[in-house]
Every structure is written in structure tokens, then in C-alpha cells.
Amino acid sequence: MYLNRTVPQVEVEAVSQFLHHLLTGDVDKLPTETLVHTFWTWNKEQKQTAKYLACLRKHMLTQVKCYLKIGNYCGMQFGQKWPERIEQCRRLLANEINATTAGIVISTSS
């Protein structure tokens, strides 16, 4: 099921800021998840990231199974969940609300 929705301005601005920081290389303003994302680890042909990947593995930062846990709750692709749920997930990821105090239960089983 996919939903057609109007993207809220706060979401547009957040994506715009993220892309600006990513494309200008402003690493200090990027979320940590950006630097340990599976993009860097899935393709061994990316020779330019070999040393970085070795560092991630050394510090066991390639074990990112926890990122998959919110997929079922928040959706794995745009438009999979209702706008209210997407807003709630945005607020969770921006640390504007706490899952426990908001009464949100996200399964931690595999």
C-alpha cells in the first residue's frame, strides 16, 4: 500500500539541509548514521573507501542491524505509512520525542 501525500515543509527543509551538508562535505553536521550507513560496506568494488571500511570493521561499526528495526514501524520507502506515522518517525529521529514517553513500541526481534 502506498499513499499519496503532501510533503510537509519541515521534511523538505530537513532533506535540503542534509543534502547541503552531504554535498559540501560538512561532515561535522551530518548524522552519525550517514557515516556508518551500509552504502559504504555493501560494495567491495568501492576502492576509495577501503581504508574507511577497514576502520569501521575494526571498531565493529558495520553491525547495523538496529537500523532495520524501525523499518516495519516507519516504512522502508517513502509513502508506505500514513502521514501521521511519518511525522512521528521524523520527530523520533530528530530527538524531538522519546519512544518510551510517547508510548511507542517498536519490536526488537529479528
Residues sharing a CB contact under 8 Å with residue 39, sequence separation 6 or more, in sequence order: none
Q: Which three cell numbers stand for residue 106?
A: 517498536
Q: Is residue 87 part of a domain?
A: yes
Q: How many domains does the chain have?
A: 1
Q: Which three cell numbers stand for residue 88?
A: 512521528
Q: Is residue 52 part of a domain?
A: no
Q: Over 50: is that where the pLDDT of 110 sits?
A: no
Terminal CA-CA length for the chain: 23
Q: Is residue 40 part of a domain?
A: no
Q: Is residue 23 part of a domain?
A: yes
Q: State whether residue 23 is helix, strand or coil.
A: helix
Q: Is residue 55 part of a domain?
A: no
Q: What is the span of the domain harbouring residue 87?
A: 9-30+64-93
- Tell me the pTM: 0.49
Q: Is residue 58 part of a domain?
A: no
Q: Is residue 78 part of a domain?
A: yes
Dist CA 89 CA 78 (whole Å): 12
The pLDDT confidence band at residue 19, using thresholds 50, 70 and 90, is very high
Q: Which three cell numbers stand for residue 39?
A: 552504502
Q: Is residue 14 part of a domain?
A: yes
The pLDDT confidence band at residue 2, using thresholds 50, 70 and 90, is low
